Chains A and B, each alone.
Chain A
Amino acid sequence: MTDNNENSDATPEEESRAPKRVIGTPPPVGTQELLPRDEPGEGGSGYVLDEKKARSAERVAAAFFTLTFVAGIAFIVFYAVWPGHVGDIRRATRSNYTLGIALTLVFLGLAVGLTVWVRSLVTTKEIVQERHAISSSPEDRATFNQYFKEGTEESGLGQRRLLRRTLLLAAAPLGLLPLVLLRDLGPLPEKKLRHTTWKNGTRLVVDGTGLPLKAADFNSPGSIITVVPEGAEENLDEIATGAVLLLNLPVDQLKIKKGRENWNVGGIVAYSKICTHVGCPAALYEQTTHHILCPCHQSTFDALDSAKVIFGPAARALPQLPIGVDSQGYLIATSDFTEPVGPSFWERGRPKA
């Protein structure tokens, strides 16, 4: 035991002299004897066990080992004989309980049994050992230094400058090879982060169903739906940049930015769903305040005011997608986004719009 300053050496006489403890006061020091006091025997062994107590401890340990045996058999039986472990969630849950309880008991039984054994039946005593010095002796060091010097001299590396320099030269490209080999991990980003698949005439289709949407059908005020570019319904890469929140907002409250007068269709506006912070879908919409909230890091955007940032870590408004209506009354994009969607990046620069 270490760091235990409650231990003491109170002898029986001292204890009998000390008055009984008064309730509410700290316990009298010197009553907690945790380690036997007698000096350790040779090699740390030599506790004499009370054979009666030892026998009962042995029985307890044996009982736990038997528990492990029974649990082990039970595990095999549950696994092999018990019907219906798999196939639906109810069975899987039941299987998890039966197999799991058996497995827990397997380890718990062994662990408790071992603990009882080591605490009550092992007669090893505490010993004090010298720590060996960690560093080598001065002679060893001197010898090593001498060998090293000799070896270096014998190798000739010290004197032969050409050898040494060309060796270093040889190593230089060697270090670059792994880096060069990693080049084909992926294509270069080029201008790809600036564009999505939206272009003039692309229909807005509902995420999930893939059906195009008529402006006349999206007419209840305050409604919101996620749309993706037509043809990209199954393409996660294109959805990851092209997902758009379509909102039906009250026209009279809409603050339309200069140059965006014809980007909405009677109060229906489209904003990129990809948060400008780190790219989570900004999916939560509060109807009464017309706020769009990203559930990842709580960036909040004002849908009425070009989705500008009201709160949170996002630095830029959600880009707006210019939309219109085609000859059949379906909602379409009238161009790609005019600025890159999603998180900032080095080459992005200040948004033009």
Chain B
Amino acid sequence: MSTTTPQTKVEGPIGYADERFATANFLRGKMKKVFPDHWSFMLGEIALYSFIILLLSGTFLTLWFKPSMSEVVYHGSYTKLNGVSVSEAYDSTLRISFDVRGGLLMRQIHHWAAVLFLASIMVHMLRIFFTGAYRKPREINWLIGITMFTLAIVEGLFGYSLPDDLLSGTGLRITQGVLQSIPLVGTYLYYFAFGGSFPGDDFIPRIYTVHVLLVPGLLLALVAAHLMIMWFQGHTQFPGKGTSNSTVTGKAFYPVFLLKTNAFFLFTFAVIAGLATFAQINPIWLFGPYTPASITAGSQPDFYMGFLEGALRIMPNWETNLWGHTIGWNVMIPALVPLGLIMTGAALWPFIEQWATGDRRVHHLADRPRNAPFRTAVGMTVVAFYGLLWLAGGNDVLADRFDVSLYATTWFFRVAVIVGPIIAYIVTKRICIGLQRSDAAELDHGVESGVIKMMPNGEFIEVHEPVKEEAEAVLRAKPEPAALPAVEEDENGIPAPASRGPLGRARKALNNAFTADDIPMGNGHHGNGHADGHADGHGEQPEIEGGDHKELSRG
């Protein structure tokens, strides 16, 4: 050590590192970096920690798993399958379960972690969407997130297909059938993916490499990028007292966030270990080895594949034969449309919103979902669409459990998957507007105090207290709706041709959708109080003089 100052316990190693990497300079500011606090900010952390657990438990499993479709005759600890011809993949998975100490636990940890990984990604994405946290400057991180979500679905599908059991083999069979139905190149894709006819000997070794190397490698790189971008841009924060778009309120990274996030990692691991201990998952010995001629009733994929399964089940049996060629809409539409709509829609959304609202400002304050009724309603539309498809994936189970006709159940979902999202859109929008009204009323008239006063004339009234400072800050932080930038007009007041074309009209309509349902907050803030901001026309937002009514009403 070249320093002459007295050394504390950490100065030794830190000095060592600093003389080589200038760590002190690098880490100095980072230690005090502030992380805002809210329960919903931890959802992404669950995904991150599930991923780490997946890497650890997955590495353990690779030490024994044999990714081979060669047939062997099973003789092992699970005596019920003795003498049965199984693939080496299935055989080695049984051996991990029954002949490696802790093997069953690790398998179940791996599978539960995968389920939690996908589930937490979904909930995390919903949080980001509904609070508008994908807005500038975070659009690229949103796209990285969508890419990771897609990769995670593929990773999950390939992962649970590896043991070559009857359930997952059926899933692969469906995957093959879908691949084959793709127009023009389907049969080639099928033969190239499987190295010949299904099931062949190549598919499991191939998806093994994809599952343990390619996709995890991509995910790892994207996770790193995701976190570095998040660190650089800072975390969003909900509006409240003392928060603003240019500041961040919270506690320092070191020690508070570091301790909390480690505790959270350990909680995640504890929950997964607990589930793996008490809740059996993927008992492949009960399913048996895969053969293409066998199946069990009530087969269900892992939950994240459920919406695709549901789409396949409720699709009407449309098929076109033209000029000696066949297009199986009954397979193509359910395989491509829901996934394509949701993923593409999600990826484009931040840019559509920017285009429609003309809002290119930097946003560090998250929106409250009620304050963005159009976005929230569209989000719930997708949730309803996805949720109904997911439920339709269990139409046989539902029919059986509730003792209704299977065909009636299927027909219910065929209708519901169209009608349900529309209802969700309308209802969500009304709820958002209602909540905005109640916010505005709270600002104007205060909060019900629960205190009943008797007036001298015998009348009972409830005392309303003014909204407290913190609450008021939250309510007043409601952003003003972004108006579309003024359209260029020529000397006669005729708007530029671009704004009158289909694209211009679409932009105007979208802008109206984004900005229409806006209830101004409180007296004196937007100038004149109770303006009914709901624009009922298709054009400009009318400036309605609200006057000084006592009750907020909608005309």
* A interface list, Cβ under 8 A from B: 1-9, 18-19, 21-22, 25-30, 43-44, 79, 85-89, 92, 95-97, 99-101, 103-104, 106-108, 110-111, 114-115, 117-118, 122, 124-132, 134, 182, 185-189, 192-193, 207, 226, 228, 234, 236-237, 239-241, 243, 273-274, 277-281, 283-284, 295-299, 309, 311-316, 342-350
List chain B residues, Cβ under 8 A from A117: 259
Q: Which of B36, B233, B314, B326 contacts A2 (CB 8 A)?
A: B36
Q: Mark B326-338, 1 if CB is under 8 A from A, else 0.
A: 1110110010000
Are B260 and A118 in contact (CB-based, < 8 A)?
yes
> B385: CB under 8 A from chain A?
no
B residues 215-229 with Cβ under 8 Å of A? none
Q: Mark B384-425, 1 if CB is under 8 A from A, else 0.
A: 000000000001100000000011001000000000000000
List chain A residues, Cβ under 8 A from B266: 107-108, 110-111, 114
Are A87 and B98 in contact (CB-based, < 8 A)?
yes
Q: How far is the CA of A107 from the CA of B270 in the complex (A)?
A: 5
List chain B residues, Cβ under 8 A from A132: 234
- Excluding A278-B177, A280-B174, 19 further A-B contacts by CB distance (< 8 Å) are A2-B36, A2-B240, A5-B467, A44-B32, A88-B79, A96-B104, A96-B105, A99-B105, A107-B267, A237-B197, A281-B292, A296-B174, A313-B317, A314-B317, A315-B328, A315-B330, A345-B186, A346-B326, A349-B324
List chain B residues, Cβ under 8 A from A122: 255-256, 259
Are A5 and B294 in contact (CB-based, < 8 A)?
no
List chain B residues, Cβ under 8 A from A118: 255-256, 259-260, 263
> B247: CB under 8 A from chain A?
yes
Are A189 and B191 in contact (CB-based, < 8 A)?
yes
B443-451, B481-489, B503-511, B519-527 - the one binding chain A: B443-451
B residues 224-266 with Cβ under 8 Å of A? 232-234, 237-243, 245-252, 255-256, 259-260, 262-264, 266
List chain A residues, Cβ under 8 A from B330: 277, 313-315
Are A344 and B326 in contact (CB-based, < 8 A)?
yes
* B interface list, Cβ under 8 A from A: 32-34, 36-38, 71, 77-79, 85, 97-105, 108, 137, 170, 173-174, 176-178, 180-188, 190-200, 202, 232-234, 237-243, 245-252, 255-256, 259-260, 262-264, 266-267, 269-270, 273-274, 276-278, 285, 290-299, 309, 312-319, 321, 324-328, 330-331, 334, 362, 364, 368, 395-396, 406-407, 410, 447-452, 465, 467-471, 474-475
16 A-B pairs in the complex with CB atoms less than 8 angstroms apart: A3-B368, A87-B77, A89-B98, A95-B101, A108-B267, A127-B249, A127-B252, A134-B137, A240-B197, A277-B317, A283-B293, A295-B297, A296-B174, A312-B317, A344-B180, A350-B321
Are B292 and A5 in contact (CB-based, < 8 A)?
no
List chain A residues, Cβ under 8 A from B407: 311
Report B167 CB to chain A, min CB distance, Å.
11
Are A131 and B183 in contact (CB-based, < 8 A)?
no
Report A195 CB to chain B, min CB distance, Å.
10
Q: How far is the CA of A88 from the CA of B184 in the complex (A)?
A: 50
Are A343 and B180 in contact (CB-based, < 8 A)?
yes
Closest residue of chain B to A349, judged by CB?
B324
List chain B residues, Cβ under 8 A from A29: 447, 449, 465, 468
Are B273 and A298 in contact (CB-based, < 8 A)?
no
Closest residue of chain A to B468, judged by CB?
A8
Q: Which of B36, B239, B316 contacts A313 (CB 8 A)?
A: B316
Are A4 and B246 in contact (CB-based, < 8 A)?
no
List chain A residues, Cβ under 8 A from B245: 131
List chain B residues, Cβ under 8 A from A236: 199, 290-292
Q: Which of A99, A185, A186, A296 contacts B102 (CB 8 A)?
A: A99
Known contacts A1-B37, A114-B262; A85 and B101 CB within 8 A of each other: yes
List chain B residues, Cβ under 8 A from A101: 277
Q: How far is the CA of A129 from the CA of B253 in the complex (A)?
A: 12
Known contacts A189-B188, A315-B328; A239 and B293 CB within 8 A of each other: yes
